[in-house]
């Protein structure tokens, strides 16, 4: 299902151990799908080569979750959670440099009082001193000024850029498209397979203590209608706890799904 606007897939890794899992799929297979182990391996390999990479996929599929989990193992990453104006990007990068507190990196006491060109110079000098990486989330149709800034900070691959967008097309990544022109520079985060999607729906129901006499039928509808999108499944399981979707001990799944679809259109 394309164009989903849903509650986000949780950013934290699943905290329940494999020993506590009692589903219908082999634990190593299920947890590998949830934790995106193949995608994580691609990210780590690209980081070791210090090459840029685009993470793309449909809304609520887990791109941000994957990026944040990956950044936990990348100590020199400067994270920009939302790419907006060039100045906001630069101020965020200065704040990230302050957080990492690397030697020889000189930062202003009050960056808000520094001009954008001055902030850019401060960031560029820091990037020259240490092997940082840039991680940019939620890129959506960036302006030429923003893309020009990102290219300048990349500086002939001195500083690799990991960035997140819905697609690798011009309307989503703008003039950054040449940075992800090759297939090796792109990583697609896909929806779960039907069997994993159904098991994930059951997993979410167990975690949230959701029970109904027609629960299996309801969860199958969630898995099928979401086309394996984890964010959509999470959102519908949350909605299933609302009393207006209950009659007796059953969930009115089709009413719930219609409300989910209507809410998505309105958003």
pLDDT at 265 over 50: no
Instruction: Tell me which residue has tokens 């007796």.
Output: 248
Q: What percent of the chain has pLDDT over 90?
A: 88
pLDDT at 267 over 60: no
pLDDT score recorded for residue 18: 58
Q: Which residue has the higher pLDDT, 126 or 16?
A: 126
pLDDT score recorded for residue 9: 40
Tell me the per-residue pLDDT of 5-19, one tens digit each, with 9 for 90 and over: 333 344 443 444 555
How far apart are the C-alpha atoms of 229 and 223, rounded to whole Å?
8
Question: Could you tell me if 10 and 64 are in contact, meaning their C-beta atoms sit under 8 angstroms apart?
Answer: no
Nearest to 132 by CA among 163, 165, 100, 110: 100
Tell me the per-residue pLDDT of 26-84, one tens digit each, with 9 for 90 and over: 999 999 999 999 999 999 999 999 999 999 999 999 999 999 999 999 999 999 999 98
pLDDT score recorded for residue 7: 35
Q: What are the residue boundaries of the structural domains of the chain, listed by start?
A: 37-188, 191-266
Q: The whole model's pTM is what?
A: 0.88
pLDDT score recorded for residue 252: 97
How far apart are the C-alpha atoms of 192 and 217, rounded to whole Å?
19
Tell me the per-residue pLDDT of 225-237, one tens digit each, with 9 for 90 and over: 999 999 999 999 9
Question: Which of 17-26, 35-44, 172-181, 220-229 is least confident?
Answer: 17-26
CATH of 191-266, one of 3.90.1170, 1.10.510, 3.40.50, 1.10.8: 1.10.8
pLDDT score recorded for residue 23: 82
pLDDT at 1 over 50: no
To the question of domain 37-188 being in CATH 2.60.40.10, the answer is: no
Once rounded to an integer, what is the mean pLDDT over residues 165-185?
94
pLDDT score recorded for residue 6: 34
Nearest to 233 by CA among 214, 256, 213, 267: 256
pLDDT score recorded for residue 22: 77
Tell me the per-residue pLDDT of 92-110, one tens digit each, with 9 for 90 and over: 999 999 999 999 999 999 9
| DSSP string for residues in 111-158 | GGGS-HHHHHHHHHHHHHHS--EEEE----S--HHHHHHHHHHHTTTT
């Amino acid at each position: 299902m394309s164009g989903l606007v849903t509650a986000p897939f949780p950013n934290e890794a699943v905290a329940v151990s494999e020993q506590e899992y009692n589903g219908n799929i082999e634990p190593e297979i299920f947890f590998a799908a949830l934790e995106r182990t193949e995608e994580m391996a691609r990210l780590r390999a690209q980081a070791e080569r210090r090459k840029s990479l685009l993470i793309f996929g449909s809304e609520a599929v887990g791109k941000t979750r994957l990026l944040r989990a990956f950044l936990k193992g990348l100590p020199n990453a400067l994270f920009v959670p939302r790419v907006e104006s060039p100045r906001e990007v630069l101020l965020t990068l200065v704040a990230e440099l302050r957080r990492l507190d690397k030697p020889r990196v000189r930062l202003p006491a009050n960056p808000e009082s520094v001009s954008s060109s001055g902030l850019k110079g401060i960031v560029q000098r820091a990037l020259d001193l240490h092997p940082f990486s840039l991680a940019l989330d939620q890129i959506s149709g960036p302006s030429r000024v923003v893309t020009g800034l990102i290219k300048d900070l990349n500086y002939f691959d001195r500083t690799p850029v990991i960035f997140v967008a819905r697609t690798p097309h011009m309307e989503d990544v703008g003039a950054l498209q040449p940075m992800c022109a090759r297939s090796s520079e792109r990583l697609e985060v896909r929806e779960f397979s039907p069997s994993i999607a159904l098991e994930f729906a059951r997993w979410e129901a167990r975690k949230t203590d959701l029970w109904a006499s027609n629960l299996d039928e309801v969860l199958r509808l969630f898995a099928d209608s979401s086309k394996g999108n984890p964010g959509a499944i999470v959102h519908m399981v949350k909605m299933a706890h609302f009393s207006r979707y209950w009659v007796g001990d059953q969930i009115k799944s089709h009413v719930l799904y219609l409300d989910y679809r209507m809410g998505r259109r309105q958003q």
